Chain A
Amino acid sequence: DAKTTQPPSMDCAEGRAANLPCNHSTISGNEYVYWYRQIHSQGPQYIIHGLKNNETNEMASLIITEDRKSSTLILPHATLRDTAVYYCIVRVERFYQGAQKLVFGQGTRLTINP
């Protein structure tokens, strides 16, 4: 079962920052927070992941609260191409001791409006 809770849908204006929340109140100390997105008719695309520190890459920023019970994915300047379903997933990394499957919830359907 998915261990995360996300709003089913969100809207954002093109050019603005899109902030997608995720609750993971039962997260364990060794579980990472991963974000993927799925654009219509494509496979899920990896965005970013983190353990407890905030992370940033060329696609997005990930802000994790100090208690790690929630996080926010930030798309700083949303474009129409960012319209997709965004999935927040928590999982353990075992480094070749047996990789762990991803458990997807329903995700957040983000619509970027012109």
Chain B
Amino acid sequence: GAGVSQSPRYKVAKRGQDVALRCDPISGHVSLFWYQQALGQGPEFLTYFQNEAQLDKSGLPSDRFFAERPEGSVSTLKIQRTQQEDSAVYLCASSGFQETQYFGPGTRLLVL
């Protein structure tokens, strides 16, 4: 079946630009997570949704980062006024009742 998909796969932004990253979870999965992975590091948690409710946003690094999932399915991670330190791979994962998280391929963001 279809897995988690993310778009775009690659994004180059100039410093100061706003970007929006999209995640399409596995159909029927209630839980959705965003992670950030810096080069050479393991993924780090950013935020978590259960349906449309954002239950945990403790990992968002600054108020420039904003995530939404208005209809409890597709989610968007928005980064305003991008900085060079935002360059990373942004990973989305979804899970159902058994809570095993399945990851998408990630969006590689490069801020110049």
Is this pair of chains taken from one and the same complex? Answer: yes
Residues of A at the B interface (CB closer than 8 Å) are 2, 34, 36, 42-46, 49, 85, 87, 93-96, 98-107
Check: B72 CB closer than 8 A to any chain A CB: no
Cα–Cα, bound, A104→B93 (Å): 14
B contact residues around A36 at 8 Å (CB):
103
Q: How many B residues, CB 8 Å from partner?
A: 28
Contact A99 to B95, CB < 8 A, known contacts A44-B43, A87-B42, A104-B42? yes
* Residues 97-112 (chain B) with a chain A CB within 8 angstroms: 97-106
A contact residues around B44 at 8 Å (CB):
104
A contact residues around B45 at 8 Å (CB):
101-103
- Per DSSP, chain A at the interface is loop
Cα–Cα, bound, A99→B42 (Å): 20
Nearest chain A CB to B48's CB is how many angstroms away?
Answer: 6
* Residues 1-55 (chain B) with a chain A CB within 8 angstroms: 4, 30-31, 33, 35, 41-45, 48, 50, 55
Do residues A101 and B33 form an inter-chain contact, with CB atoms below 8 A? yes
Do residues A43 and B42 form an inter-chain contact, with CB atoms below 8 A? no
Do residues B100 and A102 form an inter-chain contact, with CB atoms below 8 A? no
Nearest chain B CB to A104's CB is how many angstroms away?
Answer: 3
A contact residues around B104 at 8 Å (CB):
43
Nearest chain B CB to A100's CB is how many angstroms away?
Answer: 8
